[in-house]
Chain A
């Protein structure tokens, strides 16, 4: 479960300060699909960064499965990310020097290197299986540059689910795709999320994507709009 309480994030630039998130509180139950919506500059991406432990709030707290993120060091948050979160980005963000298979294997390797392998048995061939699941069994050894945008995003989805994280964070996952590919990608995410019982938090502008969720969190000027 994710619990956010009285979250404030302020950025300082010399004497000026800007409050991007202002006293935001909410809870997301395990296995839910939550859409975060709002106009540009409303604080959506900042909220996603804070949820992922990439940044710490100026005030307030975020708990992920009862772990308070801001009380953890950066290295601890890194280790936490490798086991708790999967990511899907608008522009795919695959490592260009790795093949599709290697990109999907990467989170598993990072989780293993974080010692997670001792607690969680990763089935061999899991990455391959995931890629086959997203319809890319025939593209395993292709570099990202050799794949279309839709295919790259499908690799990114497989990567997000690879280490079986309880939470998937997505930032405009269909933003760079045409409608057909967008629908395919959303369907894949939906199916995988249901199958694995993951919590899915998606930042989106698209009302079509937003309405797919169990709940919508709408932000405006850094505040939660009821």
Chain B
């Protein structure tokens, strides 16, 4: 060990610049990882601290149905009247004094709202201030539409007076993802709008204040209301659900960040491999002098430790600063005071990840040195090679799996990610190998620079492959995200798609159909009836739900909750329709037709294929459904594949027109109208039918696009760390190979090669490497985006954005990297020939 320490202290073969770039390559990934870990930790702490504030109560009871007298009776036994209040959420359109209509996220509240959390308005008001006369609170964004206090807006059948603007509400975070700006009215006036009747699609809640413990409250609640449809949200449960979402999102983003760490590690591997090649004679001499293998390993270990600590230190510093900025921005945008994160865990975790990844990258190439017989010291050392053995790939793979499993925190997600990563790397490596093989077949006689650039790429195969894989991976990640988000956005761009519905009417009483046809003659109507499943193939739905919940892999203590969730999925109300034929965007998966011959005593139903798979039913099987309190046996006659992104009303269950003629229903209508006319029609329809929810499809699509844009921005931001790491790897590898290039350049110049020829040679070599990496990244990301869209997300693939991606990857990237590479290697071109010759000596 003493010898190892001595050599470690005196070894200067790794220059400070190379050390810095290697450390920086790793540091970028570490910074991304720490930013995400700290931010998710901060969010988790905030959720833990503020759950009741987010819920605005101790407990919430939620349902899409109107609360029945039994529910109210049960609640009254659990809490006194003053300790509960109602909340109702629905999507609607509000008419402004100008006549314009705006799609909004409407909320009705009452009483002493909220029990917890902040509710601030300008001017300061309480919910009861909106009770005496119909008052409305508007989101601040309405001020930009010139709305002021005292103005009148219409919601349904009620004219409301603008009483104030909302500054802060307990569920501000959720509002950020809502479909439209928030408006708040009093519960009593909301009921008079005619928009939240028993058949309306409104989400209803009872907020409860209670000092009873969660466990006790949940137990008493279920005792009185065993129907799992009445969903009880306790702080623990809300906390766990929020935590699960945070974990899933941060786990995925952390895996993207881990790609940056891996790329940095690939750079370390390349540089150390090159370094061992250069210093092999020294290492063999040292072994000849008696330095043992374990001493050399110890030296490598110490170097890995130095590099890790440097990389981690740099990354931690950047990560902490960056997270601070991110959290400040999030606080400002969401209006939520976030907690302080716990630093110890994320920093220690990042250090561990860095140590593992760097140690593997530094020590692996040394194994090849140790395999070289010491007797090589007496031979020409250049005949020795530091290669890459299959066992190295296994060791790298094992380290990657270990680290990714720790970072991803979710086996399925980690598996998919690692599988994808390995696949991408394999494809890039295969593509790069093909490129190198193709180079050997190219015979160029005319250009000296081109010929020798090709030869150099071919002969330095390992370096070419690594650079192509590293740069290709860095290009692939953001390109795939970009292409996928553009596919989504083009799907949501209704203005470009003729015949796509862009006007949606919900909650239409059947008698209004004729009048609405007067507005839009081509309007398509679908009757909608609420249906619940009671049993499937003779098994009661609650039993089926419980069985499925237990099959899940969640911890036992969550099983009860899981059972409820599973149950909700099966027992909820399904908005269903009745008709005779498939609609646009549907195709038959099983069954000879949508419906067959009538079956005595049973109604005929067609199920959405995924829903049928979930229930494990096929054509011919029987289910029992409940419609308006009446139980009806039904026979499944077909299953359908539904295009859920077709902007039409889609249904899990479709019944035969004749069989459901007696069931109560309301209509939903869709219209494809000229985009310029949507606002006018929305306004005119609302004037005549104020209780309808008339929604502008384009504004909904725009809102969805914006939410999607935010999500892709987050992934992009993390992916950019991988791009940064790849750039640093590129720089590190170029700098590390500079000394070798110096020897070559000296000889080239000595033999009479001009500077311009040398510049061309280097430029061609760099641009070809980047071009192949960019081309592979483009091709593979386009393929991946296509596959994900077509088979993963089930949306029509789109070529939107491909030209921009191509411009960046096959033009911008080669030009940029060539310029950067030539700038980094400019000293080779500018050093006087004699000096090169002296260095070469």
Contact = CB atoms under 8 A, between A and B. Distances in A.
B837 A78 contact: no
B448 A110 contact: yes
B455 A97 contact: yes
B744 interface: yes
A96 interface: yes
Given A55-B834, A74-B833, A145 B383 contact: yes
B82 to A, nearest CB: 85
Contact of A49 (B380, B382, B757, B834): B834
B752 A81 contact: yes
A95 B448 contact: no
A78 B755 CA distance: 9
A131 to B, nearest CB: 17
A140 to B, nearest CB: 15
B753 A82 contact: yes
A83 B747 CA distance: 15
Contact of A146 (B383, B456, B752, B754): B383
A97 B460 contact: yes
B750 interface: yes
A106 B761 CA distance: 14
Interface in A136-190: 143-146, 148-149
B744 A149 contact: no
B837 A54 contact: yes
A83 B751 CA distance: 9
A145 B755 CA distance: 27
Interface string B125-143: 0000000000000000000
A143 B382 CA distance: 11
A6 interface: no
Contacts of B744: 95-97
A49 B832 CA distance: 12
A75 B755 contact: yes
Given A102-B455, A113-B757, A145-B383, A78 B752 contact: yes
B840 interface: yes
A80 B754 CA distance: 10
B832 to A, nearest CB: 7
Contact of A83 (B380, B743, B752): B752
A127 interface: no
Contacts of B832: 55, 74
A15 B207 CA distance: 87
A209 B747 CA distance: 25
Interface string B798-841: 00000000000000000000000000000000001110011011
A87 B749 CA distance: 12
B790 interface: no
A30 B794 CA distance: 82
B342 to A, nearest CB: 53
Contacts of A102: 455
A95 B747 contact: yes
Contacts of B380: 148-149
Contacts of A81: 750-752
Most A CB within 10 A of own CB, among B743, B754, B832: B754
A147 B603 CA distance: 87
A78 B753 contact: yes
B459 interface: yes
A156 to B, nearest CB: 10
Given A98-B459, A145-B382, A93 B840 contact: yes
Nearest to B756: A75
A60 to B, nearest CB: 16
B752 A55 contact: no
A22 B448 CA distance: 40
A54 B751 contact: no
Contacts of B841: 45
Given A96-B382, A113-B757, A78 B833 contact: yes
B754 A78 contact: yes
Contact of A113 (B448, B747, B750): B448
A145 B385 CA distance: 9
A74 B757 CA distance: 14
A14 B343 CA distance: 52
Interface string B629-669: 00000000000000000000000000000000000000000
Given A81-B750, A93-B747, A98 B455 contact: yes
Contact of A110 (B455, B743, B751): B751
B754 A79 contact: yes
Contacts of B456: 97
Contacts of A149: 380
Interface string A37-69: 000000001000100101110000000000000
B459 A79 contact: no
B750 A54 contact: yes
Contacts of A93: 743, 747, 840
B446 to A, nearest CB: 10
A222 interface: no
B541 to A, nearest CB: 71
Contacts of A55: 832-834, 837
Contacts of A36: none
B837 A49 contact: yes
Interface in B714-766: 743-744, 747-755, 757
Given A49-B837, A107-B752, 16 more contacts: A45-B841, A49-B838, A54-B837, A55-B833, A75-B755, A81-B751, A81-B752, A87-B751, A95-B744, A97-B460, A98-B459, A106-B751, A107-B751, A113-B753, A145-B382, A149-B380
18 contacts: A49-B838, A54-B750, A55-B833, A74-B833, A79-B754, A81-B750, A82-B752, A93-B747, A95-B744, A96-B382, A98-B455, A107-B752, A109-B451, A111-B752, A112-B448, A114-B752, A145-B382, A148-B380
Cβ-closest 8 pairs across A and B: A82-B752, A55-B834, A97-B459, A81-B752, A113-B448, A54-B834, A54-B837, A110-B752
